[in-house]
Structure 1
Amino acid sequence: MNPLATHVVTVTLNPALDQTVVLDALTPGAVHRARSVRKDAGGKGVNVAACLADWGVPVAATGVLGQDNAAPFQALMDAKGIEDRFAWIPGETRTNLKLLDGATGDTTDINLPGLRLTADALVTVRAVLRERAARDALVVLAGSLPGGLPDDTYAGLTADLRARGARVILDASGPALAAALAAPVGALPFAIKPNRHELEEWAGRALPTLADVADAARDLRARGIALVAVSLGPEGALFVSDAEILRALPPPTEIASTVGAGDALVAGLVAGLHAGLPLPDTARLALAFAAGKLTRAGANLPPRAVVEAIAATVRLERLAG
């Protein structure tokens, strides 16, 4: 087998330096004294790659970085053994501010504008994908699109990758997700991972119950998406394939940081697909990645044995198809 075919590639077109400020409690309008501050190289695809590397999956990361503050990203990839295939362009990668309320555990995100890109900035990214996207490769397209790129950017990349036989896992929202889901059947992602709010945006209606979420996920599955995973926060996640519908419930978890938990779930999903696991085992692994990451600051997993122990405690419920 071509070794590149088993390689995983993540694409982050709008990466960020995540600056997390921990407060005793967040009170709007008040002056706060920070308990601690940390800065992590991030962005959805970067976080997915970091968790996969911790698990031992060979992974390359591509996208676009501002060269003026790319050092933290390079340090992260060097430390975790992630293959760096980013395009560096003039300017600074954006900073996202995350305010963690120590009293409630809630995180308030303030996402700053990123670099404005043109189609020319994607030349390197497309070249990496042409090289890496052999048949059955797993390619993760994740995160928001930077200014300057059209809403159908992910749709176009997905169509190109599908034509090469790659399986695309898409984690996006808003118009970028809608454009990708409006593509013809042969150009749809293999899997998507919306949260409940993102699924509601696509469906154009509220989805207050688990049955409502399952109905909307089934609609996407019927359109031709092989696997729909809907993250439900503390309520776990819903996994819909052609064969079954599963709800995975995480064990009680002591939370150090919620930053990147959804990205860890995507990484667990990809790790399961990479290993060829059946859906129940993939669902357990995805929830274990997310729960394990909650115990760590930044996009970091606990040791493999700890993640495996968490996976063994994930409870599965089968829903009627």
Structure 2
Amino acid sequence: MPDVMIFAPSPLLTVTLEGDPSGTDLHLHAGGQGVWQARMLRTLGCSVSICSVLTGESGRVVQHLLEDDGITVHAVIREGRGAAYVHDRRTGERAPIVELEGDPLSRHELDELYALTLREALGSDLVLLSGPFGDEVLPDDVYRRLAADLRAAARPVVVDLAGGRLAAALDGGVRLAKVSDAELTSSGQATDASVPALVAAAERLRGAGAESVVVTRAGHASLVLDGATAATVQVPVMEEVDTRGAGDSLTAAIAASLAAGDSLHDAVRLGAAAGALNVTRHGLGTGDAEAIRRLSEQVAIAPIEAGEGSLDSLDELATKVQVDGA
């Protein structure tokens, strides 16, 4: 099975209150971007390891929860305040009660984590770089260094980052970068959310160091750019229960497919299916592997021909191009 290593510098402990007429339940899980990605990778049959710093009491609980999920944990252990949140979802809507970013990593802890990550990455088929829960946990430049060193070691790198972390990782060089249209427009990298503006922004990301770029668009077809080719990614729309975690599921499924040696378009099909099905569930990064694979067969990747970039209607795009089976 493919072996994927995830750089998840500060996983968090999630505590969620759920309720129905019979009473209130309390749910404890390991969480954070890298953890949610790891769950989807495990669902799709990958061997998954996480390199992290685990802090204090919450870190010890997180380690046990991750190992119970079949995820191998390589961790720097330290005392202090770990990342955690408590959310109340008894009304059906998620209401934060408290959210703790955790203590920043010291220089010594960063050095340990970096060495640990390189060691484990060298034995993996693919490396996924994920972000921390808090903005101040570690310097952005760590992502540049990791991407550059992993590229030098011929390890493919996939990232789902934003802002300074994304820019740093691109500077090091990555196999694929996943971003959202909201991230591109809010950062000023795209002038608006139209297809031409997003394609132009994705091309700039490729010029900055990404071989391929996937742009997700909530409620619309995603975009994939690879070389001189730009295409839309159309997937059947599912009824939404919880949209959180859909992007992480998409990224993880793409990583799983690329680690298995699949083509980019096949990987994107699987990722689009995983993201679409994740919104039908409450669990972040969860899904049914067979359902994902079956839905991926209905994902259409349609190249955007010259002059079609101004089309924002998916129906118009679908009638103008044939599905690309590449």
Tell me the TM-score normalised to structure 1 length. 0.82
- CA spacing shift, 1:257–1:168, aligned 2, 3 Å: same
How far off its partner does 1:63 sit?
A: 1.3
In the alignment, what sits opposite 1:121? 109
| Contact in 1 for aligned 2:12/2:59 (Cα 8 Å) | no
Q: Counterparts of 1:11-90 in structure 2 under 5 Å?
A: 11-20=7-16, 38-90=27-79
86-95 vs 295-304, greater mean Cα deviation:
295-304
| Contact in 2 for aligned 1:196/1:230 (Cα 8 Å) | yes
292-301 vs 39-48, greater mean Cα deviation:
292-301
Q: Counterparts of 1:223-262 in structure 2 under 5 Å?
A: 223-242=208-227, 244-262=229-247
| Contact in 1 for aligned 2:158/2:174 (Cα 8 Å) | yes
Q: Provide the C-alpha distance between the structure 1 equivalents of 2:303 and 2:91, rounded to a whole number of angstroms.
A: 35
| Contact in 2 for aligned 1:272/1:282 (Cα 8 Å) | yes
Q: Provide the C-alpha distance between the structure 2 equivalents of 1:101 and 1:235, rounded to a whole number of angstroms.
A: 30
145-154 vs 262-271, greater mean Cα deviation:
145-154
52-61 vs 67-76, greater mean Cα deviation:
67-76
Q: Per-residue CA shift, 1:102-155, capped at 9, x if unaligned?
A: 77x7x6777533221112112332233232233883111112465253231211
How far off its partner does 1:100 sit?
A: 5.8
148-157 vs 256-265, greater mean Cα deviation:
148-157
The answer to whether residue 269 in structure 2 is matched with residue 284 in structure 1 is yes
Q: Provide the C-alpha distance between the structure 1 equivalents of 2:221 and 2:26, rounded to a whole number of angstroms.
A: 29
Deviation above 6 Å: which 4+ runs of structure 1? Answer: none
Q: Provide the C-alpha distance between the structure 2 equivalents of 1:72 and 1:319, rounded to a whole number of angstroms.
A: 48
Q: Per-residue CA shift, 1:213-242, capped at 9, x if unaligned?
A: 111101222344111111212224211111
The code of the aligned residue for 1:62 comes to C
Q: Provide the C-alpha distance between the structure 2 equivalents of 1:74 and 1:254, rounded to a whole number of angstroms.
A: 33
Three-state SS of the structure 1 residue aligned to 2:30 is: strand
Tell me which of 134, 149, 164 is aligned to 2:122: 134
Q: Provide the C-alpha distance between the structure 1 equivalents of 2:280 and 2:247, rounded to a whole number of angstroms.
A: 14
Query: Could you list the runs of 5+ residues in structure 2 that have no partner in the other structure?
Result: 307-326
The code of the aligned residue for 1:122 comes to L
- CA spacing shift, 1:62–1:148, aligned 2, 3 Å: closer
Q: Provide the C-alpha distance between the structure 1 equivalents of 2:225 and 2:116, rounded to a whole number of angstroms.
A: 31
How far off its partner does 1:318 sit?
A: 1.6
Q: Provide the C-alpha distance between the structure 1 equivalents of 2:219 and 2:61, rounded to a whole number of angstroms.
A: 31
- Overall identity of the aligned pairs, in %: 28
How far off its partner does 1:59 sit?
A: 1.1
In the alignment, what sits opposite 1:28? none
In the alignment, what sits opposite 2:154? 165
Tell me the TM-score normalised to structure 2 length. 0.81
Q: Provide the C-alpha distance between the structure 1 equivalents of 2:290 and 2:230, rounded to a whole number of angstroms.
A: 28
Q: Provide the C-alpha distance between the structure 1 equivalents of 2:235 and 2:185, rounded to a whole number of angstroms.
A: 23
In the alignment, what sits opposite 1:30? none
50-59 vs 274-283, greater mean Cα deviation:
274-283
> Pairwise CA RMSD of aligned residues?
2.9
Query: Could you list the runs of 5+ residues in structure 1 that have no partner in the other structure?
Result: 25-33
Count of residues in correspondence between the two structures: 302
Three-state SS of the structure 2 residue aligned to 1:222 is: helix
282-291 vs 241-250, greater mean Cα deviation:
241-250
The answer to whether residue 199 in structure 2 is matched with residue 200 in structure 1 is no
Q: Per-residue CA shift, 1:166-217, capped at 9, x if unaligned?
A: 1121222222223333x2xxx2222111111222355444322122111110
Q: Provide the C-alpha distance between the structure 2 equivalents of 1:227 and 1:101, rounded to a whole number of angstroms.
A: 41
- CA spacing shift, 1:279–1:243, aligned 2, 3 Å: farther
- CA spacing shift, 1:276–1:16, aligned 2, 3 Å: same
